[in-house]
Amino acid sequence: MDEIRDKLQDIIRDILEDSSIILHNQTTAKDVEGWNSLTHIIIVVTVENKFDIQFETAEVSELKNVGDLVALIQKKIVKK
């Protein structure tokens, strides 16, 4: 799971152009400057592409924090 979070952190750093971002399981979009509704969509699409997975809209809308996203990515990778 740490490997997934690290890759996710790199993705978010690239999109938000901020190499100082550190993600924790409890991190939410509100905790990260520049993570708004538009960048959220870009993050989700980029994560799908980088991990070669597809999210359902309902799955994404239920995410509360980075830990939830990491767990969902893990679940999707295992199902492949």
Residue 41, amino acid: I
Which distant-in-sequence residues (6+ apart) come within 8 Å of 75 by Cβ? none
Strand (E) positions, 1-80?
A: none
pLDDT of residue 79: 80
Per-residue pLDDT for 80 more than 80? no
Alpha-carbon distance 19 to 51, whole Å?
21
pLDDT of residue 58: 96
pLDDT of residue 1: 79
Domain 2-79 bears CATH identifier 1.10.1200.10: yes
Tell me the average pLDDT across 45-57: 97
Digit-coded pLDDT (tens) for 2-50: 999 999 999 999 999 999 999 999 999 999 999 999 999 999 999 999 9
